[in-house]
Amino acid sequence: MAYVQFAFVCLFFGSNFILMDRATRWFGPFEVGFGRVASAALLLGLLWMTIDRRQRVKWRELPAILAIGVLANGYPYVVQPTLISSGFGHSFFGMTVALNPLLTILVSIPLLGIQPTKRQLIGVLGGLAFVFLLMYDGNLRGIHLGMLAAAVTVPLSYAIGNTWIRRSLNDTPPTALAFLMLATSTVLLGPVAASPALQATLGATPPEPRHDFALAAMGLTMLGVTGTGACIWAFVRMVQSQGPLFAGMVTYVVPVIAMLWGLFDNEKITTQQIIAIAGILAMVTLVQAPSRKPVETSTETLADDESWRGEPLPVDA
């Protein structure tokens, strides 16, 4: 069953980018973001009230949950469709998910006080070199630096959210946690999604002309219910039953699925992109490889703590 869950999560997390592409044919970025979090929150709310009804959240945890919901759900779920609707294809922006584990390591240093080992530091620096190659390729395709920077902030927001959860909400029941985060984003994005004037002020209006409503609506529904709500729930089940290392392996597969969908959609996949993604994943393998012997130091290292591994819990692609 765990492998079925793993395949399901990889397929739909990796498919979220083409689903966003289809949704943006009719809906604006804030409408896509709102539809995604609202439908996912509805599903997780139902699961919380039925299968996981015994889960409880402490009142003192709510401020952190609300802040992480805004940062790691509300923000990226608007930025992603904004980037994808720019006309440069969905697969390129899907590949940036591969940065999540490396950025999680960097974020864990100040937030958790965890120091990377020499091998892990080499992996991070090597990964960043391949990130620059991927960004350089995007710049050659005409994607300006502001958009490339925005693309990097998406996995960065996931990394901060994951690390913050590890620091402040490590014992919070996962289904309740994910629901409250998504519900926070729903409340935040709802007024903007309902106001064309606000969307115009923020420069994130729906496409003109709108087209393919049925396809866009189906894509948005799948993006929220399956690609976000069901995937997050299946993911936390994998973490609970198989451990975070097994679940975190989805990081290796998601950018590849996004790339394959790009090929299916006749998007241009360059040699530089393939080299960059292969290099990033190789560096992720290096930093996630278990240490052969414990590090004798009084300072906690990344090898001693699983929070650095970068699994997207409960924020996702």
Average pLDDT of span 34-63: 95
Longest CA–CA separation in the chain, Å: 63
Q: Is the link from the previous residue into 209 a cis peptide, with omega within 30 of 0? A: yes
The confidence band for 122, taking pLDDT boundaries of 50, 70 and 90, is confident
Q: Where are the alpha helices (DSSP H) in 50-144?
A: 62-69, 75-84, 90-95, 100-112, 118-140
With bands split at pLDDT 50, 70 and 90, how would you rate the model's confidence at 8? very high
The answer on pLDDT for 35 being more than 90 is yes
Going from N- to C-terminal start, the domains of the chain cover 2-309
The reported pLDDT for the residue numbered 244 is 61
* Cα separations in angstroms, 154 against 95, 271, 313: 11, 24, 14
Contact yes or no for 235/297 (Cβ under 8 A): no
CB 288 within 8 A of CB 104: no
Residue that the structure tokens 């015994």 belong to: 54
d(CA 15, CA 261): 7
Supply the pLDDT for residue 193: 96
Give the pLDDT score at 127: 86
Phi-psi region of 115 (alpha: psi -120 to 50; beta: other; left: phi over 0): beta
Q: What is the pLDDT of residues 135-185, one digit of tens each?
A: 889 888 889 999 999 999 999 998 898 888 888 888 889 899 999 999 999
Matching residue, tokens 């937030």: 111
For the cut 50, the answer to whether the pLDDT of residue 72 exceeds it is yes
Average pLDDT (213-236) is 94
pLDDT tens string 252-282: 788 889 999 999 999 988 899 899 989 988 8
Predicted local distance difference test score (pLDDT) of residue 308? 39
Least confident piece of the model among 25-39, 96-110, 155-169: 96-110
For residue 291, the model assigns a pLDDT of 60
pLDDT mean over 270-298: 74
| Paired tokens of 114 | 């965890």
Percent of residues, the chain, with pLDDT higher than 70: 89
Burial of 232 (C-beta count, 10 Å sphere; 0-12/13-18/19+): buried
Tell me if 49 sits within 8 A of 165, measured CB to CB. no
